[in-house]
Each structure stands twice: as structure tokens, then as C-alpha cells.
Chain A
């Protein structure tokens, strides 16, 4: 029987379509065995990489653990992550890619506040659930966004009075010159004033300042009892080294909201980091069983991993909070998951119990006050279940679900 070329093509095409149809229809209509796509945007190279690289390990570890336990809703998780290279433009680009091309079900990511504000509107517009798992200045109020790291009311509020008690009432504030530093400096000023203290001066530093000589002289001229630092990045580490080499170490205590997040205690000399106060949601040194297990798991899989700070722990906890929300909602529908998360999900992570606050989309979590001793954090005080009260003062997503902005604290001094 002769077959014309045209007939052959017709038949074979229709046969292919018929054979392929189950795959196509399953993919688009049912999707029951397809992996759930989890997007992650973190800086693995460039200036912010020292923060991003350990956060990536937490995300990979978390996804692997969920998959070992059988996945979510019977489906495995697939991690889709892009290296944003410390470049805000790439954040915007990859955010669109995750939302439109990869069609992910949730995104965990963003490190600096600048990167978060670059991608948050994208996920709002394309209705992709977004988790920001980094400590930050507080105030983000957006129903599509969950901020699971600590905010100033959880850390700065504890750090300032403690440091004042051990020094005096006059403070000199040094902060990085971008939105995190500017807003954190305002919170520091507020908590100084609330505790009857006085701020002598607030100095901001562009991220590429490396010579702190004039500042160290100005500090000595102002004679503060205490230095509060929100300096950020590798260049600003110079301050602590130049401070020590000028022989000022031990003369005026330093409390910082950033020192120690990216491995500083082990990168500078023990004499430089000694006695600096910090207050974060997590330290590698915490000796709870959950914390020790977490540290061991990461160190076993990545033997060269640098210090595991709040950044890493909160990223891990953020993933599991989302997973708990999906389990409770029983679906991946965005609104169903948001409502489940708002109902008060609690996850017991390395830092202790972390509870999502439905009204603010922030977390109630433990905070730990610590001091550097011999390159290690020595935890001095534990504050259980601290509320994100800074954001709660301004943000109520229950009454105003359509609210979408970042509030900035207004201090009348």
C-alpha cells in the first residue's frame, strides 16, 4: 500500500499527539506528581556573597529534608535558585523570570533591604507568595509578603538598654548610608531616648568608606559612653580594626546590630572583636538540641561552612514556616496558604519557637543578647517570644488587607 508523504506526516503527527496527550494534560490539568517549585534569590557572588552563600546552604538543606520526609501534599519540592550577584538589576530580572517563566509557587529571597524593595512589587503584581527571611529595619506591611527575620523592636530594643546599663547614657551612632542604616539609626535614637539616654551624633558612611581616622577622632572629641554601630559590609570592618589599633579598645564599649552576622568574629583578630555586644535571633553557639542538630547537619554536608548566623537559621525557618502553611491549607492556592499562615503557624526551629503573626506578617521569636569573647559569641540573656511590636504599631493587615507599603518610624527628637 503506497503511502504519500503528506499522509505519512499527518498520521505520524496525530499518533505522536495521541501518545503525548496524557503527559500534556497531566502537566496542565492535574499536576499531581509534578514538583512544587520553590524559588530562591540570593547573592552568591559579589559584595553580599558572604551573607548569601550560607543562606543558600540553609535553603538546600531545608528542601532536601522536606523531600526526604515525602515532600509536601505528596509532591516533591524543586528548588529553583538564581545567583543575583549583589546586583539589584539582576534581582528585578530574576524575580520576573521566577514569576513568569518558572511559575514558582513561593519565593524565598532578598538580602539587603534595597534588594527586597526591588523585588517585592514584582511578586505583588504577579501574585507570587514572597518570604523575606532576613533581619531588617521593620515596617514592611504587605499581605503577599512574610518577613520572618528579627526587627529592631526584637533586637535593638534589648541591645540598647543592656549596653547603656554597662556603660552610660551618652551614645555615638555609626551607620551605613542606605535604607537599613538610616532607619536602624532612628530606632537606636528612639530606644536611647526611651531609656533616658542622649545621642551625641549620628554619622552615616557610604559602603566604600575604608578610612575611619577622622571618625575615630570625632568620637574621642565627643566623649560618648557607648558606640552603637549599624555599619555594613567588608569595608566597614576597617572601623573596628582602626579603633583597636588606635588603642581605643576597652575605653568605650561598642554594641552593634550587624557585627557578627557574616563571620566577623573569626575574620578579625580576637582583640578587635572582644567585648562587642550584639543581639540577634540566633547564634551558632546556642546549646539547645534543635540548634546543635541544625549546626551539625550543615557542617556535615558543607564542612567548610563559615559561621552560621541568624541569616542562615531564619532562612531555614522561613522555608519550614511556609511548608507548615501549605500543609495546613492543604493546597498551593496563594490565598489559601496566606490565610493558613495568618492563622498563627508555629515552627520549632534552631532558634526556638517561631510563630507567624497574622496581623503584621512578621514573626514572634526568641532574641538572644550576646557578647564576643575569644572569637565566639557568649550568650548572656535570652528573651523568649518577643513580639514584632515596631511593625505592629503601624501595620494591621487584618483591618487593612490592601495596605502595601513600608512604614518608616517617625521620631520627634
Chain B
């Protein structure tokens, strides 16, 4: 019984961290059709921002939840102004440019901070369910994922900015006719996506190995999840990260981590073959 509870918790944790990792990408890719191959490096920058702030004496919670998204959001703003704004509608070019950007970020980070980095201790402790122990941090990640989901949903669904952003994504020309400057909306949305990604990096920092190349471990899974989820940002990403997190964690538990990854990628291939528009293209049409 306690084992079942702990495995269930692992599954939920896997899904929650996947959701956090993908949400920013879903905003950028799902809304603007920019394939941001530097997504993993945005995660890495978030982790670095959190760790550096925490090591400089700033409260760990503020470092993770405020400093990391702020830094990466600002960085995203600069990237959008200098690079991405020339690439809207040019899918292949955007891949090439952001891949170059990812190499640049890795190189710069290595040059400035070196190959290894002093990490921060994981806050909160562990707790026991029966004979099994796990960390409170697992539950914290879940809470952050739920919180982010609520915030992004509320912003897109209930605010004026959300309405305008969705309108621009659907039909930029019509939105421009109605007096909206699409360039500003793109800029704000890209920056928002980067900030959400930075937050994911920040909260994952205490449980990850912090290196300049850590981003590459996340980027493939994040893309598969976003593509598997389809166009709807919240419902698509949520359903896909739930499904893939479930498959990956249970696969890793009942077989080995190697097969856990194999099963994950196999099921992603099958899913995209059956549902080329992603889960939300079939089941949650018209949702956010």
C-alpha cells in the first residue's frame, strides 16, 4: 500500500516536472510556431540564475521563484528583439538560429562560470509514507506546476492581454487592423514563455546537476511533449505531460531506466502517428 502511494507520487512528480519544463516551450512553439532549440539553455540559465542568487545570499525561495523567471524573461526579451523577431513564419530558419543561440549560451556560460558550479542544498526535508521515504520537494514541484497552470490559464483566458495575445496568434493581420501592434504582443509572449521556462529551471536547480550542458537532457522530451500535446497550451501540455510522465516513470519503475526512456519515445511515436494534431487537436478542441 505504501509502495503504491510512493510510486503514484513518483508518477505525479514526473508529470509535474515535465509540465513545468514544457509550459514555456508550449507558449513559444504553440502560439508563435517558433521552434526554440535553445529551450534547454533557457532552463539552464534559470537554474544558474537561481543558484547564483542563492549563493549570493538571497533567500532560496525568492531566488527560485522570482529571480530565475525575471532573469530569463529579460534574456528572452533581448533574444526576441535581436534574433527571433526576424524569424516569425520561417520555421526552418528559426531552428537553425536558435540552435546557434543554444551553442552561444553554453559557450558563454562555460567561459564565465566554468564547467562546474557550486549548487544549492535542497530545501525542505524528507517524509515517510510507511517504510518509504521521499522528499517534500516532490510535493513542492507539484504545487508549483499547479500554480503555474492556474496562472497561465487565468492570464490567457480572463485578461485583456490574454485575449489580445490569442487573437494575434490566430490572425495577426486582423488584430493589426483592430489597432493592436502584433510585434509588441509577440515580444511580450516570447518573454513570458522564457520567464516560465526560467522558473522551471529555477525550481529544478536544487535537485539537478548544474552544468552548462544540462539543457540538452531536457530539450528532446520537452519537444515531444509539446508536439504530442498539440495546439492548446494548457490542456494539450497537461494531457501530454501527464501521459508521458506516467509512462516514463512507471516504465522506469517496473523495468529499468533504459527501457523507461525507450517506452516513452515509442509511445510518443505511436501517439503522433495516430493523432498528428496532438492530443488537444482531437479531444480538447477550442480550449486554452
Contacts and interface: CB of A to CB of B under 8 A. Distances in A.
A is bound by B: yes
Interface stretch (A142-150, A237-245, A312-320, A346-354): A237-245
Given A213-B14, A246-B135, A247-B135, A234 B124 contact: no
B257 A214 contact: yes
A267 interface: yes
Contacts of B214: 210, 234-235
Contacts of B213: 46-47, 234
A50 B258 CA distance: 25
Contacts of A213: 10, 13-14, 134, 138, 249
Contact of B126 (A215, A217, A237, A248): A248
B209 A236 contact: yes
B7 interface: yes
Contacts, number: 141
B277 to A, nearest CB: 28
Contacts of B117: 267
B121 to A, nearest CB: 4
Interface stretch (A100-108, A162-170, A200-208, A331-339): A200-208
Interface residues of A, number: 47
A257 to B, nearest CB: 17
A396 B240 CA distance: 56
A220 B119 contact: no
Q: Among the interface residues A236, A246, A262, which one has the most CB atoms of the partner chain B within 10 A?
A: A246
A11 interface: no
A235 to B, nearest CB: 5
A241 B122 contact: yes
Contacts of B107: 45
A269 B120 CA distance: 6
Contacts of B260: 214
A210 B208 contact: yes
Given A220-B131, A266-B118, A238 B125 contact: no
A113 interface: no
A244 B134 CA distance: 9
B253 to A, nearest CB: 4
10 contacts: A47-B213, A47-B216, A50-B211, A204-B258, A210-B209, A211-B249, A215-B252, A217-B132, A237-B209, A246-B126
Interface of B: 3, 6-7, 10, 13-14, 17, 107, 110, 114-122, 124-128, 131-135, 137-138, 206-211, 213-214, 216-218, 249, 252-253, 256-258, 260-261
